[in-house]
Amino acid sequence: MSGLVAGPTRLYGIIGDPIAQVRSPAVFNAAFRQSGFDAVLVPLHVPRDGFADTMRGLMRLGNLDGFMITIPHKQATMALVDEIRPRARRVGAINAVRREPDGRWTADMFDGLGFVLGLEKSGHKLAGRRVLLVGAGGAGSAIADAVAEAGAAAMTIFDLDRAKAERLASAIAEAYPGVAADCADAPEPAGHDLVVNATPMGMRPGDPLPVPPEHLTADMLVADVITKPEVSPLLEAARAKGCVTQIGRLMAEGQSAAVADFFGLTLDWSGVT
């Protein structure tokens, strides 16, 4: 890729509201240039209002080969695609959609896989972990499924919407009988050795912390999914308590490789950060 967008350039997009926080365009476009692939990934700010109509219009573009989905559209997009892969059906949300040769659109979910790959890249194993997961939305559901599949021993799920947390805990218990899954009335870290924030809390100034920081202890691994700021307020508080932390960028990096493979792209990621 020359760096210039021209007639033959293939288009990919990332859909969200807000969209300024996403890193995927910089990461993918660097990989496209490095790989000599004539494509561009662009951020697309699509508000909730008129979402379905906007998406249907985008999906009619003949040179759009795929798109990624971020908050808050990971569940709403499911109604617009032709095929949903089993993992995404199990999670109940999608974050990547590709155009098939026959024009149909296929969707899958890579949030959870990216999270697990990020932890493993940092040397953290999931087997036997006691996990507190804050957030039972699209990202939280995907992380719960992937962490359970990776061998977590127990999982406590908290969401402000108690019914949503209960549904996710039941789904994990049914799909993974070896995982003791339950929901909680409060995001209490005590009794867990992995604390995961799978909510947007921390992206905006003044957001409350997803867990009470005074209850964090130095033996806990604390992970956040948000990428901007890179060190979230939760991770700052966790580091002050002596915790090992995992930034959201590492989840995003693991996810990028998995999504590129889903799109059928062989990209050179060396040197891309």
Q: In CATH, what number is assigned to the domain containing residue 69?
A: 3.40.50.10860
Per-residue pLDDT band at 2 (split at 50, 70, 90): low
Of the three residues 109, 144, 173, the one that is the final residue of a domain is 109
Same domain (yes/no): 22, 101: yes
Residue appearing with tokens 């998995």: 258
228 as an active site residue: the answer is no
Per-residue pLDDT band at 71 (split at 50, 70, 90): confident
Same domain (yes/no): 228, 139: yes
Task: Give the pLDDT score at 253.
Answer: 87
> Do 105 and 98 touch, CB atoms closer than 8 A?
yes
Same domain (yes/no): 86, 127: no
Is 168 part of a structural domain of the chain?
A: yes
Same domain (yes/no): 76, 195: no
Average pLDDT value for the chain: 94
Nearest by Cα to 222 from 256, 252, 187, 173: 187
Of the three residues 87, 109, 131, the one that is the final residue of a domain is 109
Per-residue pLDDT band at 194 (split at 50, 70, 90): very high
Is 163 part of a structural domain of the chain?
A: yes
- The average pLDDT across 178-203 equals 96
Of the three residues 109, 137, 165, the one that is the final residue of a domain is 109
Same domain (yes/no): 63, 157: no
Task: Give the pLDDT score at 190.
Answer: 96
Residue range(s) defining the domain that contains residue 62: 10-109
Same domain (yes/no): 27, 126: no
Would you say residue 1 has pLDDT above 60? no
- The average pLDDT across 50-73 equals 95
Number of domains in the chain: 2
Selecting among 74, 125, 164, 241, the annotated active-site residue is: 74
Task: Give the pLDDT score at 140.
Answer: 92
Q: Which secondary-structure segment (H or E) carries 265?
A: none
Using only C-alpha atoms, what is the Rg of the chain? 19
Is 259 part of a structural domain of the chain?
A: no
- The average pLDDT across 39-45 equals 97
Task: Give the pLDDT score at 170.
Answer: 96
Is 39 part of a structural domain of the chain?
A: yes
Of all residues in the chain, the percent with pLDDT exceeding 90 is: 84
Same domain (yes/no): 178, 198: yes
Same domain (yes/no): 84, 147: no
Give CA separation, 134 vs 36, 191, 207, 249, in Å. 40, 15, 14, 18
Same domain (yes/no): 196, 242: yes
Of all residues in the chain, the percent with pLDDT exceeding 70 is: 99
Same domain (yes/no): 196, 217: yes
Question: What residues does 101 pair with on adjacent strands?
Answer: none
Is 269 part of a structural domain of the chain?
A: no
Q: pTM here?
A: 0.82
- The average pLDDT across 60-67 equals 97
Q: Report residue 132 as tokens.
A: 């507190």
Nearest by Cα to 241 from 207, 197, 190: 190
Same domain (yes/no): 156, 245: yes
- The average pLDDT across 9-16 equals 97
Cα dihedral value 164, 51, 228, 258, nearest 10: 80
Same domain (yes/no): 84, 125: no
Q: What is the pLDDT of residues 130-175, one digit of tens each?
A: 999 999 988 899 999 999 999 999 999 999 999 999 999 999 999 9
- The average pLDDT across 74-100 equals 94
Is 138 part of a structural domain of the chain?
A: yes
Q: Where residue 139 sits, what CATH number does that domain have?
A: 3.40.50.720
Is 155 part of a structural domain of the chain?
A: yes
Is 96 part of a structural domain of the chain?
A: yes
Choice between 273 and 78, residue whose per-residue pLDDT is larger? 78
